[in-house]
């Protein structure tokens, strides 16, 4: 197994493949209603819906950093956090598809890397650091979503 194979396994386990650690990001949103994803624990707090779009954005950002793609090509205006108000099933489904699409695009880029690419400088770290960080980011937000679901009762 190459280091790239291992990263792909970890990327998928954090996102949508079975793993020992419990619920991954995609599993944390399975079966949720628009009402559940729009709920906020308090004023100024993020909803599950916003968590999902935030994760899509950072997968896009990681992909962009790996490919050198220009900023501003994310399909939604803004960066980092994207306000999602109300309960629109269509918008929720579109945003979940966006998350899936961003994950698949990132995965395809990682598949094309060589083990030597992992040590290349990128921003304030390396390619390896960026990929390890996006894996941790998925798991962090999966945990936040699980907590938001529990808080809803």
**Structural domains for the chain:** 3-152 (1.20.120.450)
Closest CA to 111 of 85, 131, 141: 131
What is residue 65's predicted lDDT score, i.e. its pLDDT? 96
Distances in whole angstroms, Cα of residue 126 to Cα of each of 66, 87, 94, 121, 131: 10, 40, 32, 4, 9
Residue-wise pLDDT tens digits, 95-111: 999 999 999 999 999 99
What is residue 114's predicted lDDT score, i.e. its pLDDT? 97
Residue-wise pLDDT tens digits, 48-92: 999 999 999 999 999 999 999 988 889 999 999 999 987 777 999
> 3-class SS at 35?
helix
Confidence grade of residue 153 (pLDDT, cut at 50, 70, 90): confident
């Amino acid at each position: 197994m190459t280091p790239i194979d291992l990263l792909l396994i970890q990327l998928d386990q954090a996102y949508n493949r079975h793993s020992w650690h419990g619920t991954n990001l995609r599993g944390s949103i399975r079966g949720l209603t628009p009402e559940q994803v729009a709920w906020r624990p308090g004023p100024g707090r993020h909803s599950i819906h916003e968590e999902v779009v935030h994760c899509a954005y950072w997968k896009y950002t990681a992909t962009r950093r790996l490919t050198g793609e220009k900023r501003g090509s994310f399909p939604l205006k803004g960066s980092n956090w994207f306000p999602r108000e109300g309960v629109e099933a269509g918008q929720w489904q579109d945003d979940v598809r966006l998350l899936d699409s961003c994950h698949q695009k990132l995965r395809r880029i990682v598949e094309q890397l060589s083990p030597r690419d992992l040590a290349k400088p990128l921003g304030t770290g390396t390619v390896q650091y960026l990929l390890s960080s996006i894996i941790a980011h998925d798991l962090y937000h999966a945990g936040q979503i699980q907590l938001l679901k529990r808080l809803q009762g």
